[in-house]
Amino acid sequence: MEMNNINVVDQVHDPTKSPSGLRILWKEIVRDKLALVSLIFLIVISLSVFTISLVLDQDEIVKVDLFAINEPPSEEFILGTDYGGRDVFGQLIIGTRNTMLIGIAVTLMSGIFGVAFGLIAGYFGGHIDNALMRVLDFFQILPFTMLVIVFVAIVPKYTIFSFALIFAAFSWMGIARLIRSKALQEKELEYIKASQTLGTSHPKIIFREMMPNISSLIIVTMTLNLANNIGIESGLSFLGFGFPETTPSLGTLLSYAMNPQTLEHRWWIWAPAAVMILVLMLAVRNVGEALRRATDARQRRG
Amino acid sequence: MKFMWKFIVRRIIITFPQLILLSVLLFLMAQAMPGDALTGLIDPNVPEEVKEQRREELGLNDPWHVRYVDWVSGIVKGDLGQSFRFKMPVTEVVTDRVINSFWLSLVTLVFTYLIAVPLGMLSGRYNNTLLDSAITTYTYIGFATPIFIFALVMVWVFGYNLGWFPTSGSVAPGLEPGTMEYYLSKFYHLLLPALSMALIQTVSTVQYLRSEIIDTKQKDFIITARAKGASESRVYNRHIFRNSILPIAAFFGYEITTLITGSIFVERIFAYPGMGQLFIESVLLRDFSVVNAVVLLFGIAMILGALLSDIILSIVDPRIRIK
């Protein structure tokens, strides 16, 4: 029954056309209440975090104030202050912004490289595929978390950009493998053969013809990766190998809980950050799961 | 059978290049790190000429391939270099930590399967009931929960607020090693960190077991078993269980990767003196010979874990042997 509804909507545009990829993705999100709520939540959270952080002054927030150490929530400080007398609410807002931005940046960097890698391996197949897959196999057996930590520790002139680069360098393998197996199937299809016969150049076939056709898979995988990357970034910052301490992040706020006094008696410092990380990850994942269902016609609800 | 052996031999052979590549990467990393093998051996105030002479003696000025071969043959003989922080051989520093981490991992694995098997069985047997959706909700949330947040909440609730468990260390101070109390205290210290890791790590196994059971339920041999008059509990506990449990058991080699990553966080949060904590401490204090040794040992454990799982899986499930 529900399938009919889609067709009715689409017949308005063109009776012979099946619904477009983006339209199916959107339908699925609207149909899945949890995903819709998550999406609205994400939009509201990003809008408020970005507008509030425009007003907030980061230098003011990270300035140590020894007269206001570890204050519980009050009217002046909505979420109290940390061991350096810094406003926790301000750190939470800026931290959420930073965590989201670095998550998106890393997901895009590893995604772009992984997609290109997977497409090239899958499209050419044969020896090229073989060689590229051995490289990928090697990266995949490496102890990811530890290598990122070691590289963060030994990189001279450590900046947030080098962090994103190290992180992305070790996290492109999953998406590359997935895209490669999809590309292997896709290149057998007639439209690719036709283009090759017509003499279209390889890069053009790969990126202008093949990539748009698997774009929904790319969107889905990147969304699910974003949820993971937010978690991994927070974990690394929690251990002290992510954002430098002068830049607030959710993981850094959480790491103050490593002090037993803070963990036991000052929940306002670490608990909001913990909830924020968890809710962000769940929300992004809910949206991603709805998108994943949308790409598989058998699982679709919409 | 012949195909199986062929697969196993091939799988073992590709492990060697993996190990060699790992060692080369670590060797290159060690070169990029500040300090060299001498840093852990010598007083930093010794004049530069003496240091240079010692370097020459130790072969640190040799070309890189000679040093690489020296380094690898040292490792094979059990020489992992000198710790700059502890002023003793890395092998000695690591030994106790490896034992602690081994116990933590073992108890975690036991908990993981103790939780996964009943939950997966119930969820698969009574799928689409209230019980099943409760379990599925747990796995969904557990899948998205980072281990460090969960462990922190666990230590906050059960360690600090309720005071049921110790919050740091691997054994209560002042106990004589070898006594009964000593081992009990060790186990007591393991419980909370192991349970925290297991509750998160188990969710993928629960999900896998659930879908495996729902799949098996409709297979012909189950319908046959029912037709022969086997009771429902016999059908589930013998026929379906036996069919679904083997692939789960085979996954345990892959779990080593999750365990290692988890242990870095959990050992830090519970101040448990294992390899994960040693790793973080050594990076922070720039004791790079220890860092290298830990990464090497963890890397080898992961490679061997994957090898083990692939071999078990190929015995259990002939389909994956085809390639």
Query: Which tens digit of pLDDT belongs to each residue from B121-148?
Result: 888 888 888 999 999 999 988 988 999 9
pLDDT of res. A265: 80
Statement to judge: residues B257 and B114 lie in one domain:
yes
Confidence of residue B53 (pLDDT cuts 50, 70, 90): confident
pLDDT of res. B226: 82
Query: Choosing among B15, B21, B148, B263, which should be mutated to test the A contact, i.e. which has the most A CBs within 10 A?
Result: B148
pLDDT of res. A53: 82
Statement to judge: residues B67 and B110 lie in one domain:
no
Last residue in a domain, options B60, B76, B92: B76
Average pLDDT, chain A: 83
Of B171 and A85, more confident: B171
Could you tell me which residues are beta bridge partners of residue B82? B89
C-alpha to C-alpha distance for B323 and B306, rounded to whole angstroms: 17
> Does some domain include residue B8?
yes
Q: Mean per-residue pLDDT for A213-232?
A: 90
Do B149 and A260 count as a contact with CB atoms less than 8 A apart?
no
C-alpha to C-alpha distance for A229 and A232, rounded to whole angstroms: 5
Q: CB neighbours of A247 closer than 8 A, spacing ≥ 6? A: A58, A62, A98, A160
Statement to judge: residues B117 and B219 lie in one domain:
yes
CA separation, residue B282 to residues A167, A245, A271 (Å): 21, 20, 28
Asked if residue A103 lies in contact with residue A233, where contact means CB atoms within 8 angstroms, the answer is yes
Statement to judge: residues B72 and B116 lie in one domain:
no
Q: Mean per-residue pLDDT for B45-51?
A: 70
Residue of chain A whose alpha carbon sits nearest to that of B148: A235
pLDDT of res. A301: 64
Asked if the model's pLDDT at residue B6 lies above 90, the reply is: no
Confidence of residue A112 (pLDDT cuts 50, 70, 90): very high
Statement to judge: residues B200 and B298 lie in one domain:
yes
Statement to judge: residues B7 and B110 lie in one domain:
no
pLDDT of res. A236: 92
Average pLDDT, chain B: 83
Confidence of residue A11 (pLDDT cuts 50, 70, 90): very low
Asked if residue B185 lies in contact with residue B172, where contact means CB atoms within 8 angstroms, the answer is yes
Q: Mean per-residue pLDDT for A129-136?
A: 90
Query: Choosing among B203, B283, B310, which should be mutated to test the A contact, i.e. which has the most A CBs within 10 A?
Result: B283
pLDDT > 70 in chain A, percent:
83
Q: Give φ, ψ of B89 to 5 degrees.
A: -60, 140
Q: Quick one: tokens of A290?
A: 């709805």
> Does some domain include residue B50?
yes
Asked if the model's pLDDT at residue A6 lies above 60, the reply is: no
Do A146 and B144 count as a contact with CB atoms less than 8 A apart?
no
Statement to judge: residues B15 and B59 lie in one domain:
yes
> Does some domain include residue B86?
no
Of A299 and B108, more confident: B108
Statement to judge: residues B59 and B146 lie in one domain:
no
Question: Which residues of chain B make contact with A263, given a CB cutoff of 8 A?
Answer: 152, 155-156, 160
C-alpha to C-alpha distance for A242 and A98, rounded to whole angstroms: 11
For residue A150, give the nearest of B29, B146, B257 by CB distance: B29
C-alpha to C-alpha distance for A62 and A59, rounded to whole angstroms: 5
Helix extents (H) in chain A = 2-13, 21-31, 33-55, 58-61, 88-124, 126-140, 144-154, 160-169, 173-186, 190-197, 202-204, 211-213, 215-239, 250-255, 260-265, 267-295
Confidence of residue A135 (pLDDT cuts 50, 70, 90): confident
pLDDT > 90 in chain B, percent:
18
Q: Mean per-residue pLDDT for A167-187?
A: 91
pLDDT of res. A19: 65
For residue A235, give the nearest of B148, B295, B306 by CB distance: B148
Give the domain extent around B236: 101-317
pLDDT tens-digit series, residues B205-239: 898 888 888 888 888 888 888 888 888 888 887 78
Asked if the model's pLDDT at residue A299 lies above 70, the reply is: no
pLDDT of res. B111: 93
Please tell me the least confidently modeled range out of A67-76, B89-98, B154-163: A67-76
C-alpha to C-alpha distance for A267 and A284, rounded to whole angstroms: 25
Query: Choosing among A263, A281, A299, which should be mutated to test the B contact, i.e. which has the most B CBs within 10 A?
Result: A263
Q: Any idea what the CATH number is for the domain that residue B280 is in? A: 1.10.3720.10
Asked if the model's pLDDT at residue B62 lies above 80, the reply is: no
Number of structural domains found in chain B: 2
> Does some domain include residue B92?
no
CA distance B44 to chain A (A): 20
Read out DSSP for B272-313? --SHHHHHHHHHHTT-HHHHHHHHHHHHHHHHHHHHHHHHHH
Of B65 and B277, more confident: B277
Statement to judge: residues B157 and B274 lie in one domain:
yes
Asked if the model's pLDDT at residue A283 lies above 90, the reply is: yes
**Range among B77-91, B152-166, B175-189 rated most confident:** B152-166
Confidence of residue B323 (pLDDT cuts 50, 70, 90): very low
ipTM of the predicted assembly exceeds 0.90: no
Of B3 and A141, more confident: A141
Last residue in a domain, options B76, B111, B142: B76
Asked if the model's pLDDT at residue A302 lies above 60, the reply is: no
Confidence of residue A107 (pLDDT cuts 50, 70, 90): very high
Question: Which residues of chain B make contact with A257, given a CB cutoff of 8 A?
Answer: 152, 156
Of B59 and A117, more confident: A117
Question: Which residues of chain A make contact with B155, given a CB cutoff of 8 A?
Answer: 263
CA distance B159 to chain A (A): 9
In 3D space, the residue among A179, A177, A168 whose CA is nearest the CA of residue A232 turns out to be A168
> Does some domain include residue B89?
no
Q: Following CA atoms A247, A248, A254, A257 in sequence, which dihedral angle do they give, to the nearest 10 degrees?
A: 80
Angle of CA points A94, A96, A102, to nearest 5°: 100
Statement to judge: residues B129 and B248 lie in one domain:
yes
C-alpha to C-alpha distance for B112 and B209, rounded to whole angstroms: 13
Asked if residue A57 lies in contact with residue A63, where contact means CB atoms within 8 angstroms, the answer is no
Asked if the model's pLDDT at residue A15 lies above 60, the reply is: no
Do B167 and A260 count as a contact with CB atoms less than 8 A apart?
yes
Confidence of residue B322 (pLDDT cuts 50, 70, 90): very low
Helix (H, G, I), strand (E, B) or coil at A87: strand
pLDDT tens-digit series, residues A198-217: 988 999 998 888 898 888 88
Q: How many CB pairs under 8 A join A and B?
A: 93
Statement to judge: residues B58 and B168 lie in one domain:
no
> Does some domain include residue B54?
yes
pLDDT of res. A249: 87
Do B33 and A144 count as a contact with CB atoms less than 8 A apart?
no
Q: Mean per-residue pLDDT for B38-60?
A: 66
C-alpha to C-alpha distance for A170 and A156, rounded to whole angstroms: 19
Is pTM beyond 0.80? Reply is yes
Q: Mean per-residue pLDDT for A126-155?
A: 87
C-alpha to C-alpha distance for B37 and B82, rounded to whole angstroms: 7
Statement to judge: residues B256 and B118 lie in one domain:
yes
> Does some domain include residue B95?
no
Asked if the model's pLDDT at residue B69 lies above 80, the reply is: yes
> Does some domain include residue B195?
yes
Asked if the model's pLDDT at residue A262 lies above 60, the reply is: yes
Please tell me the least confidently modeled range out of A103-117, B169-183, B194-208: B169-183
* Neighbouring C-beta atoms of residue B229, cutoff 10 Å: 7
